[in-house]
Copies of this chain bind each other. A is one copy, B any other.
Amino acid sequence: MHAPAHRVAVISDDQVGPLYGREVAERLREAGHDVTVLTFPSGEASKNRTWWAALTDEMLGAGLGRDCAVVGVGGGVTTDLAGFVAATYLRSVPIIQVPTSTLAMIDASVGGKTGVDVPAGKNLVGAFYAPRAVVADTSVLTTLNALHRSEGLVEAVKHGAIRDEAHMISVRRSVPGLLAADAAICADVIARSVRIKAEVVAEDEFEQGLRQILNFGHTIGHALEAAANYRIGHGRAVAYGMVAEARIGEALGITDEGTAARLAEALSPLTERGRLDVDASHARTFLGADKKSRGGRVRFVLLRRIGEVAHEQGWTHEVGEEVARDALNEILHGW
């Protein structure tokens, strides 16, 4: 019996493509699908409107209709970019995400945020668009270099910091096993992080309230990434961002004292903590473009303590320009 071929576009970058994109395409072909393989240059610099348009036009050129599906195979850049292509292609076709990095498994592939970066900042254009399925094979992680593996775990520390102190402690304790890509330990930490994120997203898919807590560390983190023109990785930038934002909370008397130090201790085995080669005034400009800003003022997610976000009049706090600027300047020197 011949099942009608379903048309599939497999999107991955030029590093992951030859490794896993091709393999996923092969399996889909064996299952009787008609597969088009699309690639883009690896790196955050490709997560832009130009590549979004080019991938879209390639799919149109291949004659893919509304009955097609997109499969994104790769790290966070790929899942964000392929997701936004799928969200807007013929006003949306299904996306299946196949994350191949720690970061994408823990974070980027969960929760349906898709999008691209623009000159004004990171992820400022996009769509909330949930994948039909996420297929994560943790054995793939053994092939990542140690830096990619460890920086991806910064988001796991974040999940602990905002919702589950025990998870943060467990991530810290599991670092040797995680860095050695021990399959059982990786699967356990990833599953627990995904569960935390999924609970938050299930309660507030479109980020009207609670979901904002997932942005802890990202207000300053995104500004650092953009100001560095994405030469520093997302995980590393968020680590600096979390320490800086914990210090802001402590300075305002909202966050328990010692919280920034505990975060720094948990993050230190995962990423470098030295001085950043980022222009301070450049970073301040990007801070002003943050998506959480309201009426032109930047807002921060602030911890009460490890495992709990401060929540008085909403999940974000307006922070005076001077306090934010001081924290930004300070974190550029390392932590």
User: Given contacts A63-B288, A120-B60, A289-B60, are A127 and B295 in contact (CB under 8 A)?
Assistant: no
Interfacial residues of chain A within 276-296, with CB under 8 A of chain B in the complex: 288-296
User: Would you call B57 and A118 a contact (CB within 8 A)?
Assistant: yes
Contact with B along A112-125 (1 / 0, CB 8 A): 01110011110111
By a CB distance below 8 angstroms, the chain B residues around A63 are 288-289, 293, 296
- Identity of the chain B residue whose Cβ is nearest the Cβ of A7 in the assembled complex: B295
By a CB distance below 8 angstroms, the chain B residues around A207 are 91
Q: How far is the CA of A288 from the CA of B53 in the complex (A)?
A: 20
By a CB distance below 8 angstroms, the chain B residues around A89 are 124-125
Q: How far is the CA of A289 from the CA of B124 in the complex (A)?
A: 30
Contact with B along A58-77 (1 / 0, CB 8 A): 00110101110000000000
- Identity of the chain B residue whose Cβ is nearest the Cβ of A294 in the assembled complex: B67
Q: Does A253 contact B (CB under 8 A)?
A: no
Q: Does A192 contact B (CB under 8 A)?
A: no
Copies of this chain in its oligomeric complex = 2
- Identity of the chain B residue whose Cβ is nearest the Cβ of A207 in the assembled complex: B91
- Set B87, B115, B206: member contacting A127, Cβ < 8 A: B87
Q: Does A126 contact B (CB under 8 A)?
A: yes
Q: How far is the CA of A127 from the CA of B87 in the complex (A)?
A: 7
User: Given contacts A125-B88, A127-B87, are A66 and B291 in contact (CB under 8 A)?
Assistant: yes
User: Would you call B60 and A49 a contact (CB within 8 A)?
Assistant: no
User: Given contacts A65-B296, A67-B295, A294-B67, are A127 and B60 in contact (CB under 8 A)?
Assistant: no
A-B interface, 6 closest residue pairs, ranked by CB to CB distance from nearest: A60-B120, A65-B293, A67-B294, A90-B291, A91-B126, A88-B125
